[in-house]
Amino acid sequence: MRVFVQVEIVEGCRLPVLRKNQEHEDEWPLAEILSVKEVSSRKLFYVHYIDFNKRLDEWVTSDRLDMKKLQFPKKEAKTPTKNGLPGSRPSSPEREVRKVEPVPVPAQVSPAAPVTTLSTPAEAPQAAVFPAVRETTPFKSRDPDHEQLASKKCVNVMVCLQDSQDSSDGIPSAPRMTGSLVSDRSHDDIVTRMKNIECIELGRHRLKPWYFSPYPQELTALPILYLCEFCLKYLKSLKCLQRHLTKCNLRHPPGNEIYRKGTISFFEIDGRKNKNYSQNLCLLAKCFLDHKTLYYDTDPFLFYVMTEYDSKGFHIVGYFSKEKESTEDYNVACILTLPPYQRRGYGKLLIEFSYELSKVEGKTGTPEKPLSDLGLLSYRSYWSQTILEILMDLKPDNGERPQITINEISEITSVKKEDVISTLQYLNLINYYKGQYILTLSEDIVDGHEKAMKKRHLRIDPKCLHFTPKDWSKRGKW
């Protein structure tokens, strides 16, 4: 006689969970149970899909769980102590796999049954900041008769790498983790790993947050959190928002408008002078940024908010922040395009604007690491297009191949030297030919670049920028 055993699913268990992928096909990825709650006598499980981005985490019902492959968490292994202090928790504790007899579950869903899930722009796991190491190094000596170099369809550009040897012989060093806003992952707990806001109404848009943001606890239970789109103040109800709008005089972000072309404007906001707005902006941004931590002390930062203008005012599209004084040459601390405006070219416009500011300052800059997966894609695309634009504009000198150095590319673009090198490696352009390094631009790369630039309608016009850099080392400027 078969005996059925009811198994209780607890936090820390892992098992396959039914979800839809980008092609709207059913899949059963392994997921970890982070929390369990009961609503109207129905159990709900908050799951994190292993090797997927946290923004895909969601509440699911029991009929989407594959109980046959349930893995129970083992007790934490005791790690060696040092000076009487307990060791750190193992990052990936071993799990006990139990074969569980099938338990009758009402309304069992088959793998082909439709399930509603939150759609997102991308489902790729978090990516590294620099390209993965290939089996062969990008600078490996090649046969002079290599067919790719001998092909008439290639454009060869000579590059001098001698001025770049201070960076581990031209190979970019690992990203530094000492930036001011880098999140300390060791302090993650079960609360901050879970989304706590269901929905945000910002002007004419309703946003589904991707990550935890430390809004006041009493607001996290609301079905909708209302924000004033001009001052970003958070309110608990539509009635409170309407009452606030009768008193709020802002129709644009506080601070100085330093750029305007068409309907696009940029405002520079001092984190010390406009503390409330800056803190509210950080709270909103944290809903969509996982790698950065939130600082209530906004004094050391400048915020550059991009807006779109219509008859009702200047509506926030995205922003980036930067330190007033950066010892790491960072020209961006956090950068975000709000979800309703993503995939429309605004991300590259924010990045381009940050480098235009660096050009006016006479510096090279780089974004604070680590970048999110979407941020990395945007930066790689911007770096690639910017560098290829310069290389394709080079003219032959007296019939010889045009020459350019890494430092010259960096000075022209204000892109840090390490980012230039990593981009050239990522594009696999660097070749060693007859005793010198050359860049080989194939027809595919040239055609791909030209098509991408035709789609890139939004560009920064330096003539429309009215910006005077300040010397923040003088404390009186603060």
Residues forming the active site? 368
Query: Taking a C-beta distance cutoff of 8 angstroms, is the pair 173, 418 a contact?
Result: yes
Q: Dihedral (C-alpha) 17, 19, 25, 30: value to the nearest 10 degrees?
A: -40
DSSP per-residue codes, 70-85:
-EEEPPPPPPPPBTTB
Cβ–Cβ under 8 Å, residues 200 and 218: no
CA–CA dist 94, 77 (Å, integer): 9
The 10 Å CB-count burial string (b at 16+, else e) for 362-383 is eebbbbbbbbbbbbbbbbbbbb
Q: Are 365 and 331 in contact (CB under 8 A)?
A: yes
**What is the rounded CA–CA span in Å between residue 89 and residue 76?**
7
Look at residues 234, 232, 227, 235 and name the one whose alpha carbon lies nearest to residue 254.
232
Cβ–Cβ contacts within 10 Å for residue 465, how many? 17
| Amino acid at site 55 | R
| Strands annotated E in 62-119 | 71-73, 95-97
Report the interhelical angle of 373-393 vs 346-361 (nearest 10°).
Answer: 60
